[in-house]
Amino acid sequence: MDISVVVPLYNEAESLPELTQWIERVMLANNFTYEIIFVNDGSTDRSWEVITGLAKQNPCIKGVSFRRNYGKSPALNTGFARAQGDVVITMDADLQDSPDEIPALYKMITDEGYDLVSGYKQKRYDPLSKTIPTKLFNATARRVTGIKNLHDFNCGLKAYRNKVVKHIEVYGDMHRYIPYLAKLSGFTKIGEKVVHHQARKYGTTKFGLDRFVNGYLDLATLWFTGKFGGKPMHFFGLLGSLMFILGFIAVVVVGCVKLYNMHHGNHYILVTDSPYFYLALTLMLLGSQLFLAGFVGELVARNSPRRNDYEIDSEF
């Protein structure tokens, strides 16, 4: 099979027939063998009823329905697990992503050798309250992830080599960082394509401004686990050791200052009356705790059943 189109959706009953006809038209025009996997994320409208009706008309349509709303990441992960096509295309169900982009995305994966291609909605039909935070968010993501050539990490229109989606786990709200997840799994040939962005035709957006706050927290989580997840002592141990050493030096300095003043007959105070002593003691205690946290983290990592699971690309 050439292409699997994975479409996560929540309350998009009105747009589904038009989206399906559009995808079918593109696939037939290019002689692609394909499947469309609709993942209904606990919709409360007629979305699932519409999907079942469309599946009766076209055997290439498959559907999965969650009992309740879990979010876009679990929906994508579920669709990825079921995708059989050589190239996996993801797009939103609100008609803002154009299926006409599919042939070019497919060619970039199969002919140009990309592992993942992300869409870039260079011209957007969104209000400034959404576009400005999006630009700041993407600039931060580029710097932290090191993927300098992507301008729109959260674009729903993406293309993947099949083995990419089989080797990554999308959870929580990590769908924003699928390119980074792919990079952490060793898929480093990541490209971008400028795609057409259409104004929403039906319904309303399902995302609020809180996604930007959550997005930064998720980015910090991925960066930390990607850099130190397998070697926690390298982070906690180093930071704890530095704090302990600084605290110890500060205690020595406070003690030496008192001894110097005593020796020269100057006025001095008790070490325990100095605020610097308690600051130094706090540094030493925090340093010790961080070091122990790193040690415990190493024990956990050492006993993990997946500690020796490595991404093997090929062997003979």
Domain ranges for the chain: 3-228, 232-302
Q: What is the pLDDT of residues 41-68, one digit of tens each?
A: 999 999 999 999 999 999 999 999 999 9
Tokens standing for 156? 């729903």
User: What tens-digit pLDDT sequence spans the chain (316 residues)?
Assistant: 999 999 999 999 999 999 999 999 999 999 999 999 999 999 999 999 999 999 999 999 999 999 999 999 999 999 999 999 999 999 999 999 999 999 999 999 999 999 999 999 877 666 666 667 778 888 888 988 999 999 988 899 999 999 999 999 898 888 989 999 999 889 999 999 999 877 666 666 655 556 657 777 777 777 777 777 667 888 888 889 999 999 999 888 888 888 888 877 787 778 778 888 889 999 999 999 998 888 887 787 677 666 555 555 655 6
Burial class (CB in 10 A: 0-12, 13-18, 19+), 77: buried
Query: Cα dihedral angle (95, 100, 104, 105), rounded to 10 degrees?
Result: 20
**CB neighbours of residue 216 within 10 Å:** 15
Q: What is the pLDDT of residues 79-117, one digit of tens each?
A: 999 999 999 999 999 999 999 999 999 999 999 999 999
Phi, psi dihedrals of residue 6, rounded to the nearest 5° = -100, 120
pTM for this structure? 0.76
Tokens standing for 54? 């469309």
Give domain 3-228's CATH architecture.
Alpha-Beta Complex (3.90)
Q: What is the pLDDT of residues 183-202, one digit of tens each?
A: 988 999 999 999 987 766 66
For 36, the 3-state DSSP assignment is strand
